[in-house]
Structure 1
Amino acid sequence: MKYVHLATSGIVLLLWLIFGSYSGPAGLPVPALGNFFHPQKGFWHNSRPKLTDRTKKIGLNLDHPLAKGSVHFDDRGVPHVFAPDLESAAFMQGYVSAADRLWQMDISTRATEGRLSEVLGTRTLARDSMQIRRGFRQAAKNETDTMRVNFPEDMQVLEAYAAGVNAWIDQLKPRQYPVEYKILGHKPLRWSPYRTALLMKGMSQSLSSRYSDAGADKTKADLGEDVFNALFPSRFPADSPIVPDDGRYKKGAETQVQNQVSTALLSTQYAPATAHPKDYAIGASGYDAVSHEPYTLMPAHPDNGSNNWAVDAEHSNTRHPILASDPHLALSLPSIWYEIQISIPGVNARGVSLPGAPGIIMGFNDHIAYGETNVGHDVTDWFRIEWTDEKRTHYLLDGVKTPARIVTDTLHLKGSKPIIIQTPWTVFGPVPYYDGPYADHAMRYLGHDAPGKDVRPHTMAGTFLGLMQAENYDDYVHALKGYIDPAQNFIFAEKNGDIAIRPNGGFPIRAPGQTGRFTTPGNTITNAWRGYVPFSERPVHKNPARGFVSSANQTTTGPNYPYPYTGGFDEYRGRLINRYLSRETTMTQQTMKELQLSSHSLLAEELTPLLIARINRQALTDEGRELLRLISEWDYRCEGESRAATFFEMWRTKVYALTFDEMPSDSGYLQPELWKWNELLKKDARNAVFDIQATPNFKETAATLTQRAFDEIEEELAGELPVPWAEYRNTHVKHLGSIPGFGSELIRTGGARFAPRALSSGHGASWRMVVELGTQPRAWGTLPGGASGDPGSEFYDNCLSDWANGRYHELVRWKDDEEAKRKATGSWTFR
C-alpha cells in the first residue's frame, strides 16, 4: 500500500462523512466538520511540513534537566537515541514516541481505562462501563501507587518518560495535533506513569484474560461428567511442551503450596470493608446513576499468540547462538510496536518498544538477545457470591455478613452528563456483572495484583529495562523476578553460548480441590488463591541437550510438573517448529527466517488425510472429483494463491460444526480442542458425538458428516473452484480507529492461524526478528507498518510491503553519537 497524502485522504473522509459508510468496532461518530476543515487548525495543516521532520538537523531547547542527548533517524525513519543516562534516554524516548504515536498512545489507554465515550459518545458506553466495573482503573492506580512507594527507581524512569511525552504535547498548537484528533474533535491527554500502567494493563487484558468458567459449568452440567471429561481432557497426549520433563520433577512431588491465603495478595483492594457501606440508593441495582449496562463479554482474541526459538552454538553456522522471535497480535496502523535504538553508557540496545512505555520489549544488545510469547495460563477465576441484600452491599463469607467495598468511578459521556458507576468489591475482587452467565460472580484476576517488595524486586517496567541492559544469564534471571502479568515465555540467548526459555509470571496456586476451570464458591476465604508459584519453582529450560529452546503458545510443561494449571494452548505450531529444529543440524539466519515465514499447517497435514479417507469416491460428480483432486494434491502450505487451502478451511470448519451441532458456542458451550476432534475422527469414527440428534431415525458417523460437508461445499461453489486463500482469509491491516483510507489493501501473501507464519483476517506477526549473537551481533527485523503514526507521512507504512512479502531489514546499531551524526538522515539535538 502506498501512503495516503492527507490532502487526498481529506476527500475520502468527506465522502465517508456524507454517505456514512463506516460501521466499525469503535463506532466512530461524525466529527465536528467545522473544526476538521477549519482553515487555521483543520486537517490541511497535517499535509504541511512537520515538526517531526527527519531530514534536517534540529536543535531543541527544552526547559527540562533531562533534555540532553540526541535522536538520530535512519532512512526508514527509525529513531536512534543517544543519552548520558537512563532517565535522559527515557525522556527522549517519550518525546520521540509522542512525536510519532501520540494519538495511538492516547486512544489505546483510553480503551483500557474506560474513557472512549468521552470521545466517541454512547456507542462505547457499554464497553467503557465494563472496563470500569472490571477494575482496570483500580489496577492501574494500584500499580502506580505501589511503584511510587516500593519501587522508586522504576517510578523515576517512568516519570522521565512521561516528562518527555508532555514536553512534546506542550509545544503543540491545535493545528499541529495528529489528524485523528481533528476527525474526532478531542485533545491529547497529558501523560503520566498511571497512563503507562494502563498501557500495560491493556496488554494484560489482551493476552491473559481468556476464561470459560461459566461455559465449563454449563457444558459439564448438560453433557454429564463422563462425556465432559472425554471431550475436554486436561492435556494433549502427544504435546511437545515448552519445558519437557527432564527428570527435575517427579509425578506427585511435594510443592511449596501454602496452607493459608497469601497476605501479600490480599492488598487493600481485596480486603473486606471495615465499615458499613454507604446506602447508595441509586438506580434499580443500587450501583449506577443510570440503568446498568447489560452483560458484555470481552475475551482475549484466540488468534493472539507468538513463536520464538533459539539454537545453541553447535547448531548454528556462526558457532554462536541465533534467536528468532515473532509475536502474533492484532494488526493495525500505526503498528503496535515502535522500532528504536537506545544507547547509554555501557548499553547499546535495539529492538521494539510499546508506544507509551520506556525501554525495549524485544531486542538485543552487545551481549544478549531476548523475546517473548504468550503463556496462555488461565489467571481469571470467578467466585459465586451470596448476597445478603438486594442492593448487594453485604455478602456471606464463612457464615459472616461481610460488607462489600464500594468503588465509585465517573464515566464522562460526550454530549451528556457524567455517569456515576459504583462497583462492589469482595475479598476475591470486583463483581462486574449483574446479568448473564457471570451475574453476581466476583472476578479474581491476576492483572489486578500489584504486589510489593515482599513478592518481587521490581515492577514490569524494571523487567524490560533490566533485559535491555542485561549482559548474561544471571542478569536475565534477575530481570524476570519482577514480572507478574501477562505471563510470557521469555526466550534468551547470550553471545558466549547460553540459551534458555523461562515461562514466567504470577502463576496462581489455587486452593485444594479448585482448578480454576469452573466457577468457584465464594462463600469461604479458604477457596481463595494461596499465592504465586515461587520463582525458583517456575519452569525453565536452559542449554538442553537437543540444542534448542522454543515456544509457540503450546502446553508449558510435561505432565510431571507438580503445580497444576489450566489454559488455552496451541498444539500445532509448536510441534511443527520443534520437528523442524530437531531435524536441522545447522541453522543460519536465513533458515530461521524461512521457518518464521513457513505457511505449512500441521493441522492440515494431520487432518486432511482423515477427511479424504472418508469420501465415497464412486458417488462423486465430475465437480466433486475435481475438488477431491485439488485437496489430494495439496502440500499443506497455505500460500496466498492456494485454492486447496481455502477448500480445506471450508471443509474442516463445516465438518467440525456438524460434529458439535448440539453444543454451539453462541449458546454458552465450550468447544472441544481441534486435536481432540482429530483424535475422534481417527480412532472413534462411530462415537455418539457424530450423531445428529435432529435425525433420530439415522445414526451419523464421521464418514457421514465428512461426505455431507463435502457435498454442501460443492453445491455452494456451483461448479467453480474456491477463491484463492488470500481472498478467503481477507487479511487487512486496518487503521487503529478503522478510518477509511488509512488502512492497507488486501494482504495477498501466505500464512494461516496454525502455521508458523500465523495470519488471519486481522491478526498476525506484529514483529519478526532474527538475531545472530557473536563478537558483533547482527539482527534483522520487519513489521507491518512504519515508525510514524501520521497517515500523511512516508514513514507511516513504508515497511508494510516488505513485511507482507517476507523481506527483512538489517537492524543496524550505530556505535556512538558521532557515527550516528554521519549516517543519519536527520537529527534532533536536545539541550
Structure 2
Amino acid sequence: MKYFKLPLTLVLTLVVFFGLNSKFGSTPPMGKFLSPNEGFWQNELDENLSSTMHIDGLTNEVTVHYDEHLIPHVFAQNNTDLYRAQGYLTAKHRLWQLEFQTFAAGGRLAEILGEQALDYDRQERRRGMVFGAENALEKMQEDPETLSYIEAYRDGVNSYINQLEPKDYPVEYKLLDYAPEPWTIDKTALLLMYMTKMLAGREADLEHTNALAKFGKERYDLLFPDFFDVNDPVISKETDWSFINVKMPETPEQDRSLDSISITETLDKPHPQNGSNNWAVSGRKSYSGHPILANDPHLGLNLPSIWFVMQLATPEHNSYGATLPGALGIISGYNNHISWGETNATRDVIDWYKIEFKDDTRKEYKHDDQWKKTTQRIEEIKIRNRETLYDTIIYTHHGPVSYDHSFKGDNAKAGYAMQWVGHIGGNNQRTFLKLNEGKNYDDYLDALKNYTAPAQNFVFASIQGDIALWIQGQFPNKWKGQGKFLLDGSNPKHDWQSFIPQKFNAHSKNPERGFVSSANQHPVDPSYPFYVYNDGYETYRNRVINDFFRAKDKFNIQDFKNLQNNNYNLKASELLPYIFTNMDTSTLTAEETDILNTIKSWDFYSEIDQLAPSIWESWWTKLYKIVWDEFDADSRALEKPFTYQTIYMLKNHPQDELMDILSTSEKETSNDLFLITFKETAKELTEWKAEHGDYNWGAYKATYVGHLLQALPAFSRFDLPIGGDYNTVNAASKNHGPSWRMIVEMTTPPTGYGIYPGGQSGNPGSKYYDNFIDRWAKGDYMNLLFMQDQEDTKDIIASQILTPKQ
C-alpha cells in the first residue's frame, strides 16, 4: 500500500493529526483511528474487482469490465439499471468525495468540522444554495423519466453504503470521526448546484457600485469597458444577427442615489480562473476528413479528482468520458455518434437589489409603491459539539436577502437581495442524459434547450461531419447597464423583465472558417443585439487558440495535444517589449542587469526549466498590485480592473494619476512603476535562490494537487513538473488548471484520448489514487478504450457482475 506501510505509519499518523489540528482545531480519537479492527489499518487496499455483487433493485445483470486504469466499462440492459450501477460504482470508488462535496454545497460542513466551518455554512445558506437545489429538484420531479434515473442512482449509492461496516469506511471518515449517511435525490441536485456556484457564482455588482462612487462614470468606463479594444469572441465577429427580432427592454431613468452606498464586505467568490478550453475542427480542416473535438476544463487540482471516468452502455446507447461523482451520465465525452464538451460562459446571471424594509421586523418590503410581504426561511445549521444554530433568512421576490443586519450588513434596516439564475431551478440533469443518447446535431440541440445554469459553451462534433458551439443557459434580457451595479429593489423597472429566447442564444454551426472554439472570452462582438457586458472575460488563451487554427489548413491529433499543452504567454509578450523600451535601466546593479537580460531573451514560453517565467510572474504580480494601490487602500469592497485593461492603461496612459503610488511623496508614472517593481522582483528572487536554489519555473511555481481537505499533505502531490500558467492555453497554475484533457476524433466508432491529474480510486492507499498525475504533467494521454462489444475483453484486467438481490 502506497502510504500505509509499517515504517511510515508513525510519521503519517503524526502528520495527519497535526494537519487536522492546525486546520480545524480538532483531531479524531487516536485509539479509534489506530484500532486494528476498525481503524485505518483496515484500509489496506482490496479493490474487489472480480466478485459477483448483489445490488438492490436491479432488474437484470450488469457487467462491469475494468481496464488497466481502473476505468469501469458498464454494460446494462436498460437505463434504470445503468444509472443504478453508476451510483453503486461511483460510491465504491469515491464515496467520501461524493458525500463531502454535497455537505459543502449544502452548507453542512460544520456538522463534520465543527465551529470553524460555521461562517462558510451560513454564507452558503444565505447564497441560497439549498433553495436553488430544491427548485432544481422540483423541475426534475416534473420529468418522471429523469426522476426515475436519479432515484436509481440514489439506490445504487445506498446499496454500496449498506454493505459497509465501520472498518470499511474510507479513511477520511475515520480521520474526521463520522460515518456516511444515506444518499438522497436532493444530494444530486446539491451537487449540480455546487457546480453552478463554481462556474456561475462570480459577480462584482457591489464592488462596481463602490468603484462608480469612487471614480465617477467617465473614469469607471475607462477602467471597466464593456468591450476591450481587442475582441476575438466565441461566436465569430462575422456572424449576422439580423434574424433576431425581439423587442429590447428600455433603459429606465437612472436613480443615482444608490451610487453613494458604501459596501465594505461581500460574499466569497469562486476561483477567478474557473474556466476551460474547447474547440472542434470540421472534416475540411482535419487530416483524416473526420471532425476532431477537444475539451479541457480548468478547475481546482484536487485529490480525489473532481472527475471519475466511465463507459456507460446499454443496447440503445454507448457513451464514454468524464463523470461528476453525484451526477448521472457523462458530462464531457462522446458516444458512437457525437462528442461534446463544455467551457464556462461566465455570463452575468447574478444581480443585487437594495431592499427597503418597512420596519425592523422585515416582514414587508417596498416594491412598485406598495409594501409586499417577505417570506422567512429558517436554516438549521448543525455544529459538531455545539448547539444548533437557526439562521433566519428573509426572501423577497428577487431572492434571498443575503446581506442584512445579522450578516455582513450595513445597518439594521438595509438589505441586499440576490437574484440568480441558479435559484430558478432547471432540469440540467436531463441535458446530459440526452447528450449521452444523442445521435446528431438535432439531438444535441434538443438536449440543450432546457439547460438553465451554469451558462456553458457547449462544443459539439458528429460522425455526420457537423461541428457547432452554443452558448447555452437562461439569460435575462437586460437593458443596457442593468446588472453592472446595485439595483433598486423597489423599482419594478429594475426587475428582470424577460429572458433571451433560447433560439437567440449566440451559436455557430459549421462556420466557414472550419472551426469553433471557446476559452471563456467575450461571447460576442458589439453587434449582438442583446446586452452583454465585460464580465471579466478571458483575453489571451482564446487568441492563441484562434490564431493557431487560422495558421494552417489541416490539423491532426498531435496538433491538438500540442495546443492543449501550449505554454505560450501572450500576456507577457504584449507588455514586456514595451517595458524594455521604456524602463530606465541606468540604476540597475550588475545582478539586476543579469536578471533583466535573462527575461529580455525570453521566447515567452512558460517552460519548467526556464528562469524568465518566474521573473515575469513575480514582476507582474507586484506591478499589478502597485498600479491599483488605490483599491487596496480603500475600506470599501472593490474589484481591480481586469488584466487586459491594466496593460492598456500602463501602455496608453502612462502618466495617469492612478500610476502614482499613494505611500510616496513623488509623482510616479508607469515607467517608474516598471523599475520599482523590477528591483523588488530581483531582490525577491535573489533571496529565494539563496534559500531554495534555482528559481526555474517548475520549482518557483511548484504546482501541486492537494487533498480536498487541504490539511493532509500525505494524501497530496507536490512540486509537479508542469509548465504554463493561468494565462496560457495549458492553464496550469499553482493549484488550478486542466482538470481533464480530452481529444476525440469522430471516426466510426470515435477514437478518444484523455488524461486528468488524479486517479480513479479515492483511496490514498491505492495505486490508482494518483497514477495519472505524472503523465498529465508531462502532457501525455491515455488511449481511451471505448468497448463496442462487452465480450471482447482482451484489454480488461478484471470483470465483475452486478446481479439483482434476491
Structure 1 residue aligned with 2:708: 736
1:53 to 38, 44, 48: 48
Look up the SS of the partner of 1:243 in the other structure: coil
1:670 to 639, 643, 661: 639
Structure 2 residue aligned with 1:444: 419
In structure 2, give the amino acid aligned to 1:426: T
Structure 1 contact 307–327 (Cα < 8 Å) conserved: yes
1:667-697 CA deviation, whole Å, 9 max, x = no partner? Answer: 422211221122223233222221234445x
Return the offset for 1:61: 2.4
Does residue 36 (structure 1) correspond to residue 3 (structure 2)? The answer is no
Does residue 175 (structure 1) correspond to residue 129 (structure 2)? The answer is no
Structure 1 residue aligned with 2:145: 153
Distance verdict in 2 for CA 1:67–1:131, change over 3 Å:
farther
- Take 1:712 and 1:624, find their aligned partners in 2: how far apart are those partners? 10
Matches for 1:554-569 after TM superposition, within 5 Å: 554-566=521-533, 567-569=535-537
Structure 2 residue aligned with 1:414: 384
1:824 to 796, 800, 805: 796
- Take 2:625 and 2:212, find their aligned partners in 1: how far apart are those partners? 19
Look up the SS of the partner of 2:469 in the other structure: strand
Structure 2 residue aligned with 1:64: 57
Does residue 226 (structure 1) correspond to residue 218 (structure 2)? The answer is yes
- Take 1:238 and 1:186, find their aligned partners in 2: how far apart are those partners? 53
Structure 1 contact 353–360 (Cα < 8 Å) conserved: yes
In structure 2, give the amino acid aligned to 1:546: R
Return the offset for 1:760: 1.3
Look up the SS of the partner of 1:625 in the other structure: helix
In structure 2, give the amino acid aligned to 1:124: A
Q: Which runs of 5+ in 2 are unaligned?
A: 253-263
Structure 2 contact 615–685 (Cα < 8 Å) conserved: no
Look up the SS of the partner of 1:746 in the other structure: strand
Structure 2 residue aligned with 1:134: 127
In structure 1, give the amino acid aligned to 2:654: A
Return the offset for 1:170: 0.7
Structure 1 residue aligned with 2:648: 679
Structure 2 residue aligned with 1:338: 308
Range with bigger deviation, 410-419 or 721-730:
721-730
Range with bigger deviation, 414-423 or 628-637:
414-423
1:354 to 320, 324, 334: 324
- Take 2:772 and 2:752, find their aligned partners in 1: how far apart are those partners? 16
- Take 1:69 and 1:468, find their aligned partners in 2: how far apart are those partners? 18
Structure 1 contact 307–325 (Cα < 8 Å) conserved: yes
Structure 2 residue aligned with 1:270: none
Range with bigger deviation, 59-68 or 570-579:
59-68
1:721-767 CA deviation, whole Å, 9 max, x = no partner? Answer: 67121222221100111223000021122110100000111101000
- Take 1:147 and 1:260, find their aligned partners in 2: how far apart are those partners? 35
Return the offset for 1:255: 2.5
Return the offset for 1:22: 5.7
In structure 1, give the amino acid aligned to 2:723: G
Matches for 1:799-818 after TM superposition, within 5 Å: 799-818=772-791
Does residue 702 (structure 1) correspond to residue 670 (structure 2)? The answer is yes
Distance verdict in 2 for CA 1:416–1:693, change over 3 Å:
closer
Q: Which runs of 5+ in 1 are unaligned?
A: 262-293, 452-458
2:486 to 519, 522, 526: 519
2:209 to 202, 217, 224: 217
Structure 2 contact 724–732 (Cα < 8 Å) conserved: yes
RMSD: 2.2
Structure 2 residue aligned with 1:455: none
In structure 2, give the amino acid aligned to 1:805: K
Look up the SS of the partner of 1:385 in the other structure: strand
- Take 1:66 and 1:328, find their aligned partners in 2: how far apart are those partners? 39
1:91 to 84, 91, 94: 84
Structure 1 contact 766–783 (Cα < 8 Å) conserved: yes
Structure 2 residue aligned with 1:506: 474
Structure 1 contact 378–568 (Cα < 8 Å) conserved: no
Does residue 762 (structure 1) correspond to residue 735 (structure 2)? The answer is yes
2:571 to 581, 603, 611: 603
- Take 1:379 and 1:335, find their aligned partners in 2: how far apart are those partners? 28
Range with bigger deviation, 513-522 or 90-99:
513-522
2:292 to 303, 319, 322: 322
1:106 to 99, 106, 117: 99
Return the offset for 1:440: 0.9
2:180 to 182, 188, 196: 188
Structure 1 residue aligned with 2:746: 773
Structure 2 contact 480–531 (Cα < 8 Å) conserved: no
Return the offset for 1:606: 0.7
Structure 1 contact 7–44 (Cα < 8 Å) conserved: no
Structure 1 contact 555–569 (Cα < 8 Å) conserved: yes
Structure 2 contact 60–76 (Cα < 8 Å) conserved: no
Range with bigger deviation, 183-192 or 325-334:
183-192
- Take 1:29 and 1:146, find their aligned partners in 2: how far apart are those partners? 40
Structure 2 residue aligned with 1:303: 273
Look up the SS of the partner of 1:818 in the other structure: coil
1:469-515 CA deviation, whole Å, 9 max, x = no partner? Answer: 111100000000121100100000112211111110011123x4552
Distance verdict in 2 for CA 1:542–1:705, change over 3 Å:
same
TM-score, with structure 1 as normaliser:
0.90
Structure 2 contact 60–77 (Cα < 8 Å) conserved: no
1:61-83 CA deviation, whole Å, 9 max, x = no partner? Answer: 23423462111100111100000
Look up the SS of the partner of 1:607 in the other structure: helix
Return the offset for 1:819: 1.2
In structure 1, give the amino acid aligned to 2:509: K
Return the offset for 1:60: 1.6
Structure 2 residue aligned with 1:794: 767
Return the offset for 1:625: 1.8
- Take 2:26 and 2:205, find their aligned partners in 1: how far apart are those partners? 36
Return the offset for 1:331: 0.6
Structure 1 contact 78–787 (Cα < 8 Å) conserved: yes
- Take 2:483 and 2:703, find their aligned partners in 1: how far apart are those partners? 35
Structure 2 contact 585–675 (Cα < 8 Å) conserved: no
Structure 2 residue aligned with 1:288: none
Does residue 432 (structure 1) correspond to residue 425 (structure 2)? The answer is no
- Take 1:328 and 1:639, find their aligned partners in 2: how far apart are those partners? 19
Distance verdict in 2 for CA 1:260–1:378, change over 3 Å:
closer
Does residue 77 (structure 1) correspond to residue 70 (structure 2)? The answer is yes
Look up the SS of the partner of 2:51 in the other structure: strand
Distance verdict in 2 for CA 1:215–1:811, change over 3 Å:
same
TM-score, with structure 2 as normaliser:
0.93
Return the offset for 1:794: 1.2
Structure 2 residue aligned with 1:539: 506
Structure 1 contact 730–747 (Cα < 8 Å) conserved: yes
Structure 2 residue aligned with 1:752: 725
In structure 2, give the amino acid aligned to 1:710: F
- Take 1:618 and 1:729, find their aligned partners in 2: how far apart are those partners? 30
Return the offset for 1:19: 4.5
